[in-house]
Amino acid sequence: CATQKGRRQLLSYGALIHHWVACHTTLAADAPHLRSLQVIRYEALVADPDAVLAPVFTRVGLAPEPVAGLVHAGLDERYFARWRTARNPLRRHDRNRAVRRYEDAVARFGYSLVDLERAEAGTMLPGLSS
Protein backbone atom coordinates (compact mmCIF):
# COMPACT_ATOMS: atom_id res chain seq x y z
CA CYS A 1 0.00 0.00 0.00
CA ALA A 2 1.15 3.56 -0.65
CA THR A 3 1.36 4.54 3.00
CA GLN A 4 3.38 1.44 3.86
CA LYS A 5 5.85 2.22 1.07
CA GLY A 6 5.98 5.82 2.30
CA ARG A 7 6.86 4.71 5.82
CA ARG A 8 9.71 2.56 4.45
CA GLN A 9 10.98 5.67 2.68
CA LEU A 10 10.63 7.53 5.99
CA LEU A 11 8.15 10.07 4.71
CA SER A 12 6.62 12.08 7.51
CA TYR A 13 3.11 11.33 8.68
CA GLY A 14 2.30 14.87 7.61
CA ALA A 15 3.44 14.19 4.04
CA LEU A 16 1.46 10.95 3.86
CA ILE A 17 -1.71 12.50 5.27
CA HIS A 18 -1.32 15.57 3.07
CA HIS A 19 -1.23 13.23 0.06
CA TRP A 20 -4.34 11.36 1.30
CA VAL A 21 -6.24 14.64 1.78
CA ALA A 22 -5.13 15.92 -1.65
CA CYS A 23 -6.37 12.71 -3.33
CA HIS A 24 -9.74 12.85 -1.58
CA THR A 25 -10.09 16.59 -2.31
CA THR A 26 -9.41 15.92 -6.00
CA LEU A 27 -12.02 13.15 -6.03
CA ALA A 28 -14.58 15.43 -4.38
CA ALA A 29 -13.86 18.18 -6.93
CA ASP A 30 -14.01 15.81 -9.90
CA ALA A 31 -17.08 13.84 -8.78
CA PRO A 32 -19.74 16.33 -9.99
CA HIS A 33 -18.28 16.12 -13.49
CA LEU A 34 -18.58 12.33 -13.77
CA ARG A 35 -21.58 10.65 -15.33
CA SER A 36 -21.30 7.64 -13.06
CA LEU A 37 -19.46 7.24 -9.79
CA GLN A 38 -19.60 4.62 -7.08
CA VAL A 39 -17.56 5.33 -3.96
CA ILE A 40 -16.84 2.32 -1.80
CA ARG A 41 -15.46 2.86 1.66
CA TYR A 42 -12.76 0.44 2.74
CA GLU A 43 -14.58 -0.18 6.04
CA ALA A 44 -17.78 -1.23 4.27
CA LEU A 45 -15.86 -3.39 1.81
CA VAL A 46 -14.04 -5.42 4.45
CA ALA A 47 -17.16 -5.69 6.64
CA ASP A 48 -19.32 -7.25 3.91
CA PRO A 49 -17.53 -7.50 0.55
CA ASP A 50 -20.21 -9.57 -1.20
CA ALA A 51 -23.01 -7.14 -0.28
CA VAL A 52 -20.91 -4.08 -1.17
CA LEU A 53 -19.70 -5.39 -4.52
CA ALA A 54 -22.91 -7.07 -5.72
CA PRO A 55 -24.42 -3.76 -6.93
CA VAL A 56 -21.13 -2.89 -8.61
CA PHE A 57 -21.16 -6.16 -10.56
CA THR A 58 -24.77 -5.52 -11.53
CA ARG A 59 -24.06 -1.92 -12.51
CA VAL A 60 -21.44 -3.02 -15.02
CA GLY A 61 -23.62 -5.83 -16.38
CA LEU A 62 -22.02 -8.80 -14.64
CA ALA A 63 -23.53 -11.44 -12.40
CA PRO A 64 -22.39 -10.92 -8.80
CA GLU A 65 -19.51 -13.17 -7.80
CA PRO A 66 -18.66 -14.12 -4.20
CA VAL A 67 -15.50 -12.31 -3.14
CA ALA A 68 -15.62 -12.54 0.65
CA GLY A 69 -12.80 -15.09 0.73
CA LEU A 70 -10.51 -12.65 -1.08
CA VAL A 71 -10.94 -9.79 1.39
CA HIS A 72 -9.27 -9.84 4.78
CA ALA A 73 -10.69 -7.67 7.55
CA GLY A 74 -8.59 -6.28 10.38
CA LEU A 75 -5.44 -5.49 8.43
CA ASP A 76 -5.60 -1.86 9.50
CA GLU A 77 -5.32 -2.80 13.18
CA ARG A 78 -1.55 -3.19 12.82
CA TYR A 79 -1.29 0.34 11.43
CA PHE A 80 -3.58 1.70 14.13
CA ALA A 81 -1.43 0.08 16.83
CA ARG A 82 1.75 1.52 15.33
CA TRP A 83 0.12 4.97 15.11
CA ARG A 84 -1.02 4.88 18.75
CA THR A 85 2.20 3.55 20.27
CA ALA A 86 4.97 5.37 18.43
CA ARG A 87 7.93 4.93 20.80
CA ASN A 88 10.35 7.06 18.81
CA PRO A 89 9.99 10.64 20.14
CA LEU A 90 10.55 12.11 16.68
CA ARG A 91 7.78 9.97 15.17
CA ARG A 92 5.51 10.84 18.10
CA HIS A 93 6.17 14.54 17.49
CA ASP A 94 5.57 14.04 13.74
CA ARG A 95 2.29 12.24 14.45
CA ASN A 96 1.08 14.89 16.90
CA ARG A 97 1.96 17.68 14.47
CA ALA A 98 0.10 15.85 11.67
CA VAL A 99 -2.97 15.44 13.89
CA ARG A 100 -3.01 19.16 14.72
CA ARG A 101 -2.54 20.14 11.09
CA TYR A 102 -4.84 17.65 9.32
CA GLU A 103 -7.58 16.53 11.76
CA ASP A 104 -10.13 18.99 10.36
CA ALA A 105 -9.29 18.11 6.74
CA VAL A 106 -9.57 14.37 7.44
CA ALA A 107 -12.83 14.90 9.37
CA ARG A 108 -14.32 16.53 6.26
CA PHE A 109 -14.25 13.05 4.69
CA GLY A 110 -15.69 11.29 7.76
CA TYR A 111 -12.47 10.09 9.36
CA SER A 112 -10.38 11.08 12.36
CA LEU A 113 -6.69 10.92 13.22
CA VAL A 114 -7.66 10.87 16.90
CA ASP A 115 -10.51 8.34 16.76
CA LEU A 116 -9.10 5.90 14.21
CA GLU A 117 -12.21 3.72 14.16
CA ARG A 118 -14.45 6.59 13.06
CA ALA A 119 -15.69 6.20 9.51
CA GLU A 120 -18.88 8.16 9.04
CA ALA A 121 -21.07 6.97 6.20
CA GLY A 122 -22.23 9.59 3.74
CA THR A 123 -19.29 11.93 4.25
CA MET A 124 -16.83 10.61 1.70
CA LEU A 125 -17.72 13.29 -0.82
CA PRO A 126 -18.84 16.38 1.11
CA GLY A 127 -21.68 18.17 -0.59
CA LEU A 128 -22.55 15.26 -2.85
CA SER A 129 -25.05 12.52 -2.39
CA SER A 130 -23.66 9.20 -3.56
What are the tens digits of pLDDT across the range 5-56?
545 567 899 999 999 999 999 999 999 999 988 888 888 899 999 999 999 9
Task: Output the DSSP codes for 92-107.
Answer: HHHHHHHHHHHHHHHH
Predicted pLDDT at 36? 87
**pTM for the complete prediction?**
0.79
> Per-residue DSSP letters for 56-88?
HHHHTT------GGG--TTTHHHHHHHHHT--S
Q: Diameter of the chain by CA atoms?
A: 52
pLDDT digits (tens, 9 = 90+) for 59-108: 999 999 999 888 888 888 888 888 888 888 999 999 999 999 999 999 99
Question: Helix, strand, coil proportions of the chain in percent (round to 5)?
Answer: 60, 0, 40
